[in-house]
Amino acid sequence: MVSSEVAVQNSVGLHARPATFFIQRANEFKSSIWVEKDERRVNAKSLLGVLSLGIVKGTQISIIADGSDEEEAVKTLVELIESNFSE
């Protein structure tokens, strides 16, 4: 199991379009992946789950993965968030 913390800095947080990009990338991996905010953990491959966390700009989240490609999954998703979803 691998995890990493990252702060969401894009203007709308992890909502609607950025969340969709995030979930599409998460679904490219075989590992189980979760997003955690304030002790609440949801499936990173679920749009409803990710949106339910209400992640806004400046929110610190953890990305956790467990599986055969866990390290690559966490690295890729952290880079996606740090790039502000290429906005």
pLDDT of residue 33: 98
Residue ranges making up the domain that contains 45 = 2-86
Report the number of distinct structural domains present in the chain.
1
pLDDT of residue 87: 61
Q: What CATH number does residue 28 fall under?
A: 3.30.1340.10
Per-residue pLDDT of 25-41, as tens digits, reads 999 999 999 999 999 99
Q: Which residue has the tokens 């609440």?
A: 40
Q: Is the pTM value of this prediction over 0.85?
A: yes
Question: Would you give the DSSP letter of residue 10?
Answer: S
Task: Tell me which of 13, 14, 15, 18 is the catalytic residue.
Answer: 15
- Residue 8 falls in the annotated catalytic set: no
